[in-house]
Amino acid sequence: MKVLVLGNGGREHALVWKLRQSPRVAKLYCAPGNGGIADEAECLPVDLKNLDSIVAVGAQVRPDLTVVGPELPLTLGVVDEFSRRGWPAFGPTKAAAQLEASKSFAKEFLQRHRIPTAPYAICDSVEEVRAALAHFHAPVVVKADGLAAGKGVVIAVSKEEAAGVAAEMFSGKMVGEAGLRVVLEECLKGDELSFLVLSDGERVAPLVAAQDHKRVGDGDTGPNTGGMGAYSTQNIIDDKMRDWLVHHIACPVVEGMKAEGAEFKGVLYCGLMMTARGPMVLEFNCRFGDPETQPILMRLESDLVDALEASIAGRVSEGDFKWSRDASVCVVMASGGYPGTFEVGKKIMGLDEAGAVDGVKVFHAGTSKRDGSFYTAGGRVLGVSARAPDLQAAVERAYRACEKIRFDGAHYRKDIAARAMKK
C-alpha cells in the first residue's frame, strides 16, 4: 500500500521510520519531510497551512493511508477532505480537532462532561479578565484560546501581570488571532504527564506513557520550548493509574464527543497534571506529540499500519499495540539561541557515528540535505533517541550518541529523564 505522512519534524521522522518497518507498506511518501526523512521516504513539497496544497499532494499520491503529524492541517479539515475523496486518513475531523484548536471549547466540554480540570474563566476583553480575576488566587494561568505553537500560555505570578498578559494577547501582537479570546485557569501543582490513547470514535487503546521536558535548560529552567526531550518506561504510571485514566478521562472524552456529534478518531493526547486532588486535564492535543512520539514508537513492537487502520475502521481494541518492556529516551539537539532567534545552515557532523551506537536512532527534525551532507534548518534539529533494557542504559546510549554529533551552536539538555532515574 501507499502511505503518506504529512509534516516535517522529528515526530514525522519517527512515524516514517516505524511505518517503513511494516511489511504492508510498499511506498512511503512524506510531505514536506526534511533532510533525514528524505533517506527513508519520497519527500514532496507542500504548504501545510494551505488545504488546497495538501489536497493536491493527495491527488498526486492517491494514498491508501495518510498520517497527519501536526495539528494545523487537522484543524483545517484535511481528514474530512481526504476521506470525502476516498483516501483513508488517520486523525480527527475538523470538528473533533476543536478539542485542541480551541482551549475554551475544551474547557467547556470538560465541564459539561464532568471531567476533572482546573477552574477557569473564558474572557473576550480586558474588562472581563479584570472582573474574572476577582475569583482567582495568584498565580493565574493565562492561555490564548487558539493554536499558538506553545507560545500561548503564561503563568502570571500576580493578578496585575495576568491582566497585562491578557491585554497583550487581545492586542493580537503576542500570538495573533489565537489570543483574541483568553482562558484564565487556576494554577495546579504536581507532576505533568502525557497520556495518549488511540481512539476509533468509540473505544480507546492506551499508548505507553511518556514524559517530556518543555523548558530549555537543565533542572527545568529557562523559557518553554516545543520540547527538549522525552522518555518512556514501564513504570511512569502503574496499571491501576492507566485504567483510571482510561475510564475517567479518555473514555468520557471519546463518549462525550460522540454524543455531541463530533466523533473523535485518531490519537487523543491528554496533557495532565497529577495533583494532590487527582489527575486533571491541562489540555488536549489531537495528534501524536513531538518529541514524545520518538520514545513511544521506539517501544512499539507491533505493526503501526494495523493500529492506525483500526482507528479509521472503528475497530480499536487494547490488543492493537504490543510494547517492549525496554525503556527509551529522546534527547533534542537544538540550534544556538533556540527557543529565541537562531541561525540555520550549519553543517552537521558525526551523524553516522552517532547512529552506529547500539540501540540508537537519530531522528531529524530541522535538517536539510545538500550534496550528501546535512545542515541545520530549524530550532529543534535532531532527536537523538535510544532504547535499552533499562532507562539508565537508554540515557547513556543517547548521550553517547549526542557527544558524537557536532554543529555550530548545538545545545541540548544533559538531564533528560534524570528525575525519573532518581525516583
Ligand X SMILES: Nc1ncnc2c1ncn2[C@@H]1O[C@H](COP(=O)(O)OP(=O)(O)O)[C@@H](O)[C@H]1O
Residue 78, C-alpha cell as written in the block: 484535511
Binding-site member from 3, 15, 141, 381 for ligand X (CB under 6 A): 141
Q: Judged by CB under 5 A, which stretch of 139-147, 264-272, 355-363, 389-397 contacts Mg ion? A: 264-272
- Does residue 271 interact with Mg ion by CB under 5 A? yes
Separation in Å, CA 348 to CA 39, 344, 353, 382, 414? 16, 11, 12, 10, 20
- Does residue 420 interact with ligand X by CB under 6 A? no
Each residue 209-228 as x (binds ligand X by CB under 6 A) or -, in order, gives -----x--------------
Q: In what order do the strands lie in the sheet with 65-68?
A: 42-43, 27-32, 2-7, 65-68, 89-90
User: How many chain residues are in contact with ligand X, going by CB under 6 A?
Assistant: 16
- Does residue 161 interact with ligand X by CB under 6 A? no
Binding-site member from 7, 10, 63, 152 for ligand X (CB under 6 A): 152
Residue 176, C-alpha cell as written in the block: 495573533
Residue nearest to ligand X (CB): 283
Q: In what order do the strands lie in the sheet with 380-388?
A: 211-212, 229-232, 327-334, 380-388, 360-364
- Does residue 185 interact with ligand X by CB under 6 A? yes
User: Which are the contacts of 6, defined by CB distance < 8 A and separation ≥ 6?
Assistant: 12, 30, 31, 46, 48, 54, 66, 67, 68, 69, 70, 73, 78
- The amino acid sitting at 358 is D
Nearer to ligand X, 101 or 365 (CB): 101
User: How many chain residues are in contact with Mg ion, going by CB under 5 A?
Assistant: 1
Q: In what order do the strands lie in the sheet with 120-123?
A: 120-123, 182-186, 140-144, 153-156
Binding-site member from 192, 202, 218, 255 for ligand X (CB under 6 A): 192
- Does residue 283 interact with ligand X by CB under 6 A? yes
Minimum Å distance from CB 283 to Mg ion?
A: 5
Nearer to ligand X, 215 or 411 (CB): 215
User: How far apart are the C-alpha atoms of 285 and 71, rounded to whole Å?
Assistant: 8
- Does residue 187 interact with ligand X by CB under 6 A? yes
Nearer to Mg ion, 54 or 147 (CB): 147
Per partner kind, with CB cut-offs from 5 to 8 A, the member of ligand X, Mg ion, none near residue 141 is ligand X
* Whether 348 contacts 405, CB under 8 Å: yes
Residue with cell 497529577: 274
- Chain contacts with ligand X (rule: CB under 6 A): 118, 141, 143, 150, 152-153, 155, 185, 187-188, 192, 214, 271, 273, 282-283
- Chain contacts with Mg ion (rule: CB under 5 A): 271
